[in-house]
Amino acid sequence: MSTDTILLEHGDGGLLSNKLIAETFLPLLKNDLLERMEDCAVMEIGGQRLSFSTDSYVVQPCFFPGGDIGSLAVHGTVNDLSMGGATPLYLSAGFILEEGFPLDDLKKIVASMAEAAQKAGVRVVTGDTKVVARGAADGIFINTAGIGHITYPGDISVSSIRPGDAIILNGHIGDHGAAIMSKRENLGLETDILSDSAPLSGLVADILQASPAIHCMRDATRGGLGAILAEIAQQSGAGITIAENSIPVKDSVRGVCEILGLDPLFLANEGKMVAFCPGNDAQAVLQAMQNHEYGRDAAIIGTVGESDRGRLILDTAIGGQREIDLPAGELVPRIC
């Protein structure tokens, strides 16, 4: 299939997204910071290490169980900054509004942003608003960018991952994806699943305190835990093995997955992350996570080994093994 136009799948965080970045964005915008392909760019200015990141939010519906596009736009960028080991400080907010969007809804969304920003300890310090004609956008799109300050001495990056590292996840996966999926109008599913949208900056601060040797952190957003770990395996050349039985998934989320034929591993999260640290520090990091409100159900889900370099292997629940690859061509609604 030739793809000379943009398809929805170019935005799903899987194979086509990667292709778009590798073949279109990266060659034209090429520089050493961008080429690291991390969640945020880390730069040194005046002897200080700063972290910079941006993300756009187009979630449909814009109010969903457990959150809305406003809080999501704050959490997403705060989390991207946090994953680089930064303390998030300042955000920008750009709004693209469709003619006819209810002002009351906008007020609710901005109030929710304000609350989320306060909770995450960041300030929205600059912004922009554009209004487009009816039909040129779908209600409301938000872009946020953020700056954070890095004081952690270690290099938190996929390139720091080593054999012997433990992989620790901060709780149940798939809540956000399942909450959005079950609200799709034509499915008629009734569930009480709430999005896990949350700021992870506080949790990350505790993790960094617990271990002086955190090698890598990544939030498991679009594409889910499966996609980010497969991507990390590819980028770092590490051989990652995870155990299906050790990954916490709520029964309600599993139920939605069974009905819709989805795999929780590939469902989006907005408040979940993995940390890679030396095996010796695993218990301390796990404890730090479990002591935090956004890490109560944390678990050690896997390890980095000497073999299977560049691959992600899943020990299945029944005792089999399979490789997990980046998702390709999964049809998902707009989840973030």
Partner 1 sequence: MKHIDEYRDPALVKGLLQGIEKRAAQAQAPVTIMEVCGSHTNAIGKYGIRGMLPESIRLVSGPGCPVCVTSVHDIDCALHLAGRSGVVFATFGDMLRVPGTGGRSLQQLRAEGADIRIVASPTDCLQIAAEAPDREIVFMGIGFETTSPAIAAVIKTAEKRGVANFSVLSAHKVIPPAIDVLISDPALALDGFLCPGHVSIVIGADAYRPIVDAGRSAVITGFEPVDILEGVYMILGQIIENKPDVAIQYTRGVKREGSPPARQLLNEVFNSADARWRGLGIIPGSGLCIREEYQSLDALHKFDIPEIQSEEPKGCRCGDILRGIIRPPECPLFRTACNPASPVGPCMVSSEGTCAAYYKYH
List interacting residues with partner 1 (CB under 8 A): 1-3, 5-9, 14-16, 19, 186-187, 251, 254-255, 258, 261, 263, 314, 316-323, 325, 328-329, 331
Identity of the residue numbered 158: V
Q: Would you state the structure tokens that stand for residue 234, as one six-digit string?
A: 């590819």
Helix residue spans in the chain (DSSP H): 15-20, 26-29, 32-35, 69-83, 103-120, 175-182, 201-210, 224-236, 251-260, 282-290
Give the single-character DSSP code of 61: S
Closer by beta carbon to partner 1, 103 or else 331: 331
How many Cα atoms within 13 Å fall on the side-chain side of residue 176? 34
Instruction: Provide the minimum distance between the beta carbon of 24 and partner 1 in the complex, in angstroms, as a whole number.
Output: 14
Instruction: Provide the minimum distance between the beta carbon of 18 and partner 1 in the complex, in angstroms, as a whole number.
Output: 9
Closer by beta carbon to partner 1, 278 or else 305: 305
Closer by beta carbon to partner 1, 190 or else 258: 258
Closer by beta carbon to partner 1, 299 or else 314: 314
Radius of gyration (C-alpha) of the chain in whole angstroms: 19
**Of 276, 197, 214, which is closest to residue 85 (Cα–Cα)?**
214
Instruction: Provide the minimum distance between the beta carbon of 154 and partner 1 in the complex, in angstroms, as a whole number.
Output: 35
What are the residues whose beta carbons fall under 8 Å from the beta carbon of 16, sequence distance 6 or more? Answer: 3, 7, 9, 10, 328, 329
Give the single-character DSSP code of 223: T
Q: Are 17 and 11 in contact (CB under 8 A)?
A: yes
Closer by beta carbon to partner 1, 7 or else 34: 7
Instruction: Provide the minimum distance between the beta carbon of 315 and partner 1 in the complex, in angstroms, as a whole number.
Output: 8
Instruction: Provide the minimum distance between the beta carbon of 178 and partner 1 in the complex, in angstroms, as a whole number.
Output: 13
Instruction: Provide the minimum distance between the beta carbon of 321 and partner 1 in the complex, in angstroms, as a whole number.
Output: 5
Closer by beta carbon to partner 1, 296 or else 322: 322
Closer by beta carbon to partner 1, 184 or else 296: 184
Q: Would you state the structure tokens that stand for residue 206, as one six-digit string?
A: 């505790």
Instruction: Provide the minimum distance between the beta carbon of 20 and partner 1 in the complex, in angstroms, as a whole number.
Output: 10
How many Cα atoms within 13 Å fall on the side-chain side of residue 49? 16
Beta strands in 133-246, from DSSP E residues, in sequence order = 140-150, 165-169, 216-219, 239-243
